[in-house]
């Protein structure tokens, strides 16, 4: 199956976080555009997540530990691990979740500040 990310509809994850995503049988892939200064509130989920920094700088807080991610960096977020973050610059991030984010598929995000 070929997918063109440009054809995927936008989905607001949280204020300043807009994603284009698709779901396979076992995973969700989200290409996330983040406005400079946008903050993601602390949350956790049972999904394993891998965040791949494609562009920009993003300050992640993973289980209380701050770290700066830049283009080319990846962060593995274990299941149920509290995390939050803030975009230092405009960012583009590829987030991969396993299993599928059914809340995203349904258009729901429990921690969204809209």
DSSP letter for each residue of 17-86? EEEEEEE-SS-EEEEEEE-TT-EEEEE--SSEEEEEEEESEEEEEETTEEEEEETT-EEEE-TT--EEEE
Confidence of residue 112 (pLDDT cuts 50, 70, 90): very low
Instruction: Over range 91-97, report the average pLDDT.
Output: 98
For the chain, give every domain's residue range: 10-104
**pLDDT, tens only, 36-86:** 999 999 999 999 999 999 999 999 999 999 999 999 999 999 999 999 999
The pair of three-digit structure tokens given for residue 86, joined into one six-digit string: 């803030």
As a CATH number, domain 10-104 is 2.60.120.10
Residue 109 pLDDT = 66
38 phi, psi to nearest 5 deg: -65, 140
Task: Give the pTM.
Answer: 0.91
């Amino acid at each position: 199956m070929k997918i063109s990310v440009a054809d995927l509809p936008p989905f607001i994850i949280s204020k300043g976080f807009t994603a284009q995503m698709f779901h396979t049988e076992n995973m969700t892939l989200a290409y996330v555009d983040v406005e400079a200064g946008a903050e993601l509130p602390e949350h956790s989920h049972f999904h394993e997540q891998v965040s791949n920094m494609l562009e920009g700088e993003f300050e992640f807080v993973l289980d209380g530990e701050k770290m700066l991610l830049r283009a080319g960096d990846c962060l593995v977020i274990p299941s149920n691990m509290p995390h939050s973050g803030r975009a230092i610059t405009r960012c583009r991030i590829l987030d991969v979740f396993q299993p599928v984010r059914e809340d995203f598929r349904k258009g729901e995000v429990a921690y969204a500040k809209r």
